[in-house]
Amino acid sequence: MNLGFLEILRSLQPKRVVLDLLSDVLLRHKALVTRKWLTEQLQRLRSLNITTLAVLNPYMHGSEEVQAVIDLFDGNLEIIENKAGKNRGKFIHINWMHGVDIEEKELAISDLVSQVQHTKPRRSNALRGGAGADRRRIAVLPCLNISKDPADQYFSDGLTEELISRLSTVSGLRVIARTSVMRFKGSSKSVNEIGTELGSGSLLEGSVRKADNRLRIATRLIDVPSEEHVWAQDFDKQLEDVFAIQIELATRVTEALKTQLLAEDKLKLQKKPTVDFDAYTLYLKGKFAWNERSRDSLNRAVKCFEDALERDPEFALAYSGLADCYIVLVDHGYMGQKQGYTKAREALLRALALDSTLAEAHSSLGNILSNEWKWAAAEAEFVKALKNNLSYAKAHHWYSIHLLGLGRLEEAIGQLKIAEELDPASPMIHAYAGGLYIYARRYDDAMKELDKSLQLDPYFVPAHANRSDACLSKAMFSEAITELEWVLPRVPETTQWKVERGFVYALSGRKDDAARLAREVEAAPDYEQLEPQRLAVIYSKLGNMDRALKLIERAFELHSITPFQVRQSQFYDTINSDPRFEELFKKATQSTEAVANPEES
């Protein structure tokens, strides 16, 4: 490719050029001069606004050469299956940093499947850690509030979250979730330390000052391996220009990281959530309160979102925020499920009517539908959420929970791993991972995940509770009891936790203690409000299978556990082995909505 050829391209003005990588010499010769030459050609094509597609001939190259191409172009290879016609087989699906998603170009690789699959973990490992991380894997660090009024912290935190959301909509970027980056608020760790912990190749940091009606923002984009500034810019504008600042910031970041913006990416980056700045301020205050997750803060958040909607009834994000308040109020037991989910659904449907591309709303609606066992509809919402924002960690997390409920464990683990990559410092996701691996009967993996969660937060109750289950699964009974004894003083003294104690005793062989607790539970005034599946396990270990099956049937009616989870978990093996369970399983699954085929969603 010489200058004469570039002149021809300028005259022809093609939209795309395909590089057919057939030469063994090119792939095997990995000297820096070759890479530099090819990089220069790609940059020249990019300067002409020409999309570059790279095509690898799968019949000429082995796994070492496939890996060389992945490294050279900083792209991804994955195996897909073509079901069209009679020629059913495996094909390569290629994405390149300098190109677009090739949906029509499929290359048969029936002889290369195992080799290409072998290269994927090596690439995944290379993306972890500061020195080897992909530059397009970016973490937006908490904006420093340097305003005179400390109460303006809501604004700097809100701006951080808004930048994360805006950048997450760019298909060529992978953006670390808020939960993980907020751990570094006020941190004195170096750029490389933070990048290594988050597995990010780029960091965006900045400061925010509100003064009267002015907004001053200083930002820097930092390359993690070199710790050098890639780009820096200061903004000094009116408060009402906050959206223009966000749009320009996000656009400049994508340009600096040489990320190609698709048409839909550009539309999302340019989007302004509301025309009313006061409504936006109320929305940021609502998000700030929501993130505190106490009962009082959630009620304050509801009021902020409602006030924002009173000022701008077409503010879709405010409806989505309001719905998330109701969902968390239900999850924490502060509001009844029927009332909370009804309010949340109304808000989410209104949000999606105003903006059908809101990944947050699709994901939250999917979560509600999944809890109601409307599985096909739930799956469709999760797919829509991820189509609009592939970097939305919560959608991957909730989708994984949904798949676990359907017994699709490998798919659930796949979604979990993506959630962990996007939110690597989330104690909740690692604690959930421990629970998922317990269902998958991968108990050593479960312990590793739970240890990660507790390294991030030694006092995280869900991780200790799941670790008790993991210890039970490994017949470490004294350790299981120790974990539960640590949990009990730190949670409300409810009948449900008395069930948990009886559950651990029953599986540890302390049948007399388990029987005593079961009697106390059945006599409790709030017995009808309990989730009964673990009480069913107690009775199964005590030999009362009639009572155990009745309780499992009740659990299915309450949707507190799915039939697929009961069939999968080691804890329910005694119940599964009873011939009568099969009838309960069929009854429960036939009464629910059909499960969506993910390839048809």
Pairing mode, strands 137-140 and 144-145: unpaired
**Between 540 and 90, the higher pLDDT residue:** 540
- For the chain, the residue count is 601
Contact 222, 159 (CB under 8 A): no
Contact 160, 140 (CB under 8 A): yes
Helix, strand, coil percentages for the chain (3-state, nearest 5):
60, 10, 30
Q: Residues 6 or more apart from 367 whose CB is under 8 A from it?
A: 327, 378, 398, 401, 402
Enter the tokens of residue 30. 């990995």
User: Whole-number mean pLDDT of the chain?
Assistant: 82
148 burial type by CB count under 10 A (0-12 exposed, 13-18 middle, 19+ buried): exposed
Q: Which string of DSSP letters, residue by residue, matches 222-272?
A: EETTTTEEEEEEEEEEEGGGHHHHHHHHHHHHHHHTTPPPPHHHHHHHT--
Pairing mode, strands 137-140 and 89-95: unpaired
**Between 276 and 171, the higher pLDDT residue:** 276
Give the model's pLDDT for residue 564: 95
Q: Which residue has the tokens 């079901």?
A: 83
Residue 131: count of CB within 10 angstroms of its CB:
12
What pTM value is reported for the model? Answer: 0.75
Average pLDDT over residues 36-52: 62
Question: Tens digit of pLDDT for each residue in 54-67?
Answer: 544 443 444 444 44
User: Kind and range of the H or E element at 80?
Assistant: strand 76-82
Amino acid at 181: V
Q: Which residue has the tokens 């009974």?
A: 477
When mean pLDDT is compared across 92-106, 403-417, 438-452, the lowest value belongs to 92-106
Average pLDDT over residues 541-548: 97
Residue 98: count of CB within 10 angstroms of its CB:
21
Question: Tens digit of pLDDT for each residue in 136-180?
Answer: 899 999 999 888 888 889 999 999 999 999 999 888 899 999 999
% of the chain surpassing 90 pLDDT? 59
Give the model's pLDDT for residue 48: 65
Give the model's pLDDT for residue 60: 42
Give the model's pLDDT for residue 22: 43
Question: Tens digit of pLDDT for each residue in 490-540?
Answer: 988 889 999 999 999 999 999 999 999 999 999 999 898 899 999 999 999
Q: Distance between CA 269 and CA 504 in Å, rounded?
A: 51
**Between 532 and 108, the higher pLDDT residue:** 532
C-alpha distances (whole Å) from 322 to each of 152, 289, 337, 364 are 22, 12, 15, 11
C-alpha distances (whole Å) from 170 to each of 250, 259, 479 are 9, 9, 46
Amino acid at 485: E
What is the 8-class DSSP label of residue 532? -
**Between 562 and 599, the higher pLDDT residue:** 562
Contact 364, 320 (CB under 8 A): yes
Question: Tens digit of pLDDT for each residue in 428-446?
Answer: 999 999 999 999 999 999 9
User: Any idea what the Cα angle at residue 447 is, between residues 445 and 450, rounded to 5°?
Assistant: 110
Q: Which of 80, 79, 90 is nearest to 120 (CA)?
A: 79
Give the model's pLDDT for residue 110: 39
When mean pLDDT is compared across 31-35, 157-161, 298-302, the lowest value belongs to 31-35
Pairing mode, strands 202-211 and 137-140: parallel
38 burial type by CB count under 10 A (0-12 exposed, 13-18 middle, 19+ buried): middle
User: Any idea what the Cα angle at residue 532 is, between residues 413 and 467, rounded to 5°?
Assistant: 45
Q: Which residue has the tokens 């298909």?
A: 171
Contact 461, 490 (CB under 8 A): yes
C-alpha distances (whole Å) from 525 to each of 29, 325, 497, 521 are 76, 29, 14, 9
Question: Tens digit of pLDDT for each residue in 451-481?
Answer: 999 999 999 999 999 999 999 999 999 999 9
Q: How far is CA 12 from the centre of its chain?
A: 43
Q: Which string of DSSP letters, residue by residue, matches 340-357?
A: HHHHHHHHHHHHHHH-TT
